[in-house]
Amino acid sequence: MEYLNYVVIGIFVLFMLQRLLPTKGVKQISTSALKNELNDQNKQFVDVRTPVEFKGNHIRGFKNIPLHQLANNVNELSKEKEIVVICQSGMRSNKASKLLKKKGFKQVTNVKGGISAW
């Protein structure tokens, strides 16, 4: 029975690590590095926070596509351009990055720390 407890704990730890670790193939940048990229016309900037969060404070040039709507709105984005994704802390944008990679987007960048680090 004790062995089973260790297995359950191990699975839980792996599950949590998988959620927290950066997605393979997704570039991670800091908010200071983001400042140098904001004028790049070859990039798309997506904020995956809720409309209320976005309205309260956002970075000019970012388009608001809430995480829960992203899967149904990927057709608004070009697979030819890099996508830079941000949220409040970096957790939702990491999820969004995984989703975009699964949908066939090749160049995806997650902003570490999100708006909170801005």
78 is catalytic: no
- Which residue out of 70, 83, 87, 111 is catalytically annotated? 87
Residue among 48, 30, 35, 33 nearest 117 (CA):
30
* Tokens representing residue 82 in the block: 């890099």
Length of the chain counted residue by residue: 118
* Tokens representing residue 99 in the block: 């989703």
Q: What are phi and psi of 66, to 5 degrees?
A: -55, 145
Residue numbers annotated as active site = 87
